[in-house]
Amino acid sequence: MKLFLVLCLLCLPSMVRAQDVFNYVLDNATRVVNSPTSGYTQAQIAQFKRTSLLYLQKKAFEQSETVATDLLDTQAYYLSEFLTLFFTEVMKDKKQPEAVRKNKILLFMNASVMNPMWNDTDRETTHAFIDDKESMTPFCLDTDWQKAYAAAVVNLESLR
Q: What is the pLDDT of residues 39-64, one digit of tens each?
A: 999 999 999 999 999 999 999 999 88
Question: What's the DSSP call for residue 18?
Answer: G
Over the stretch 96-138, which tens digit does the pLDDT of each residue have? 899 989 999 999 999 999 999 999 999 999 999 999 999 999 9
Alpha helices in the chain (DSSP H): 2-16, 20-34, 40-63, 69-92, 98-113, 123-126, 128-131, 145-159
Indicate the pLDDT class of residue 6, thresholds 50, 70 and 90: very low
Structure confidence at residue 14 (pLDDT)? 41
Give the count of beta carbons closer than 10 Å to the beta carbon of residue 118.
17
Alpha carbons within 13 A on the beta-carbon side of 104: 22
Percentage of the chain lying above the pLDDT 90 cut:
74
